[in-house]
Amino acid sequence: MKQDLISIIVPCYNEEQALPAFYRAVSDAVEEITEADCEFLFIDDGSQDHTPDLLQRFAYMDSRCRYISFSRNFGKEAAMYAGLQNASGDYCVFMDADLQHPPELLKEMYRVVKTEGYDCCAGLREDRTGENRLRTFLSRSFYHLIGRICRLDMGDGKGDFRMINRAMADSILELKEYNRYMKGIFSFVGFDTKWIPYHNAARTAGETKWSLRALFRYACDGILSFSSAPVTLAGTTALILILAAVFTGIAALTAGHRSSAVLLLVCLILALNGIQMLFLSILGQYMSKDYMESKRRPIYIVKKKGGFPSPS
């Protein structure tokens, strides 16, 4: 009799085209893990297509499948948290529904966390095949920046695809902040992680939901959630600009060119006001994050659930 249970958590947003292939591929992959059973936990993040209908069909056909549908789109981070909250497995896996996370690595991940003493086994993406150059450049630049200012292990290629044990899952669930950035949370809670390299693959079907605008907003959330460096930068920059303005004004006045000095001072005032507004905006972002946390709103709202055992 199998003793372990693996919960495969799959956030879904408008993935009706990709889900059938994903379900078949992962089902085949977990059949090779003879020492454990598995459950599929699909989180429908407010999809506008037929994803909810497809998940209901999975739950009807396969007793291993469960699903949770949100009342609206709350974001991937909320979907991952909901999956952890409702997973009953000894080990939990996060996978995207587009098959860019290779299912064939699941057997090796289980072996690592089961026998090698690691709390987490994660996929390390070695390349960005299939992405355009601008997206690749921006992603790598962001991870380089956030790695330096947050002092957490969030390098390029270290994504959400990972298997974690129950101890690590429970630690993540203790962090109940509304503004969640899971890559940072994985690093923050610590635990021993082994990285398995894999090559990036194109989506099996459908289109990515991550536009450049969404990625930029996601990057800002990550920085604001795990670093106070922008606030420190604001104060340092303000001091430098004030000193530069004073010395520049003195130099312009002593040179005797009064008209030039006036124009220079006007330019300095405009520049300083613009920079001041920029850093006020940064401070405002931190205040807005704190404001949302103080409301204590739920991270997600469930509209419908299916496939779960009836309470006794």
The tens place of each residue's pLDDT in the chain, 312 residues long, gives 458 899 999 999 888 888 999 999 999 998 888 888 999 999 998 888 899 999 999 989 988 999 999 998 888 888 989 999 899 889 999 998 888 888 999 999 999 999 888 998 988 887 655 555 666 666 566 556 655 655 555 555 667 888 999 999 999 888 887 777 777 787 778 788 888 888 766 555 555 554 556 555 655 565 555 555 565 566 566 666 666 666 665 655 565 555 565 656 656 675 666 677 667 767 766 676 666 666 677 788 889 888 887 665
Can you give the pLDDT at residue 307? 80
Q: Print burial letters for 242-256: b (CB count within 10 Å at least 16), e (below 16).
A: eeebeeeeeebeeee
pLDDT of residue 1: 46
So what's the pLDDT on residue 182? Answer: 77
Rounded to an integer, what distance in angstroms lies between the CA atom of residue 302 and that of residue 142?
A: 33
* 75 Ramachandran zone, left/alpha/beta (phi>0; psi -120 to 50): left
Predicted pLDDT of residue 126: 73
Question: By three-state DSSP, how is residue 166 classified?
Answer: helix
Give the span between the Cα atoms of 166 and 292, in whole angstroms: 29
Residue 290: other Cβ atoms inside 10 A: 10
Rounding to the nearest 10 degrees, give the CA dihedral for residues 199, 113, 42, 167.
Answer: -130
User: What is the per-residue pLDDT for 229?
Assistant: 57
